[in-house]
Amino acid sequence: MPLARMRTCIRVLKEEWGFRVRRGRTLGTGKGYFSGTDSERLADLQEMLDDDEVRAVLCARGGYGVGRIIDDIDFSRFLRRPKWIVGFSDITVLHLHIQARYGIATLHAPMAGAFNAGGWRGPFVESLRRVLTGEWSEYRCPSHPYNRQGVAEGPLLGGNLALMAHLVGTPSFPDTVGCILFMEDVGEQLYNIDRMMRQLLRSGKLERLAGLVVGGFTDCRDTERPFGQIAYEIVREVVAPFGYPVCYGFPVSHGRENVALKSGVPHKLDISAGGVCLSESI
């Protein structure tokens, strides 16, 4: 990510939100795809996790790379004094790993890029500020024709579909029984969305959910021979055998609409003909 885009985020965090900001050592560095070697990126994250003065770690961007270092992260000091881990996309690996191994809440939320082009003034980046300052969360969205009505309560967890499918069979995927699972994805071919959904199905991750929240599937692509279903139709077919409430079109995505969700925190999902409400349980 260009340093100019990160500077916008840092400026807003300091000047508009009043936070003290400590920059990671690998911001704007590295060659090729990564911002540094695995050891450099690991050391950077480890330093933030170990520093008791750091109260939240806002990841600059996602992409790919957490899976290369996740097994080498030492969470011992983090466990003694937890802090918000903030991000989405590839950061799904951190969210699910921390939930699976330690049961500590994390924050699936906008990252540095979302602050640019006036994004920090909008409701989605604002939802991050509200969580970081301790406010209670409640989100509403319109009804969707594919919605399955009902009320569900349970811990909220999830993230990027590709990363969830990638983590199946590893110690980093938490138990989903009784949970409200949320998912989104970007740039995937439709047949691959079907394959990943069926991977979750075959692994038992979709069977005993309390509810399912389906966010944006942006920039999906089809193959030369059309798959025959759009992303939401694929999801609907896979979860058709189950009776739990399901909503579509929730504002969690790789697009501008991406609210801050407290992963691992109990929530209530209420889906009715009038719309959808997802709120922290009191």
pLDDT of residue 6: 87
Find residue 185's DSSP bridge partners: 217
- 184 as an active site residue: the answer is yes
Q: Are residues 116 and 218 in the same domain?
A: no
Which of the listed residues 132, 160, 187 is the one where a domain comes to its end? 132
pLDDT of residue 12: 97
Q: Are residues 178 and 262 in the same domain?
A: yes
Q: Are residues 164 and 126 in the same domain?
A: no
Catalytic residue selected from 35, 89, 253, 263: 89
Q: Are residues 142 and 219 in the same domain?
A: yes
Q: Are residues 175 and 91 in the same domain?
A: no
Q: Are residues 262 and 205 in the same domain?
A: yes
Q: Are residues 250 and 162 in the same domain?
A: yes
Q: Are residues 147 and 113 in the same domain?
A: no
Catalytic residue selected from 108, 184, 188, 257: 184
For the chain, how many structural domains are there in total? 2
Q: Are residues 28 and 116 in the same domain?
A: yes
Domain that holds residue 67: 3-132
Q: Are residues 124 and 167 in the same domain?
A: no
Which of the listed residues 114, 132, 150 is the one where a domain comes to its end? 132
Task: Return the CATH number at 221.
Answer: 3.50.30.60
Q: Are residues 56 and 151 in the same domain?
A: no
pLDDT of residue 30: 77
Instruction: List per-block mean pLDDT (blocks of 10 residues) for the chain, which spans 282 residues.
Output: 81 97 88 89 97 96 95 98 98 98 98 95 98 97 98 98 98 98 98 98 98 98 97 98 98 97 98 98 82
Q: Are residues 205 and 74 in the same domain?
A: no
pLDDT of residue 29: 80
Which of the listed residues 105, 132, 159 is the one where a domain comes to its end? 132
Catalytic residue selected from 97, 166, 254, 267: 254
Task: Return the CATH number at 35.
Answer: 3.40.50.10740
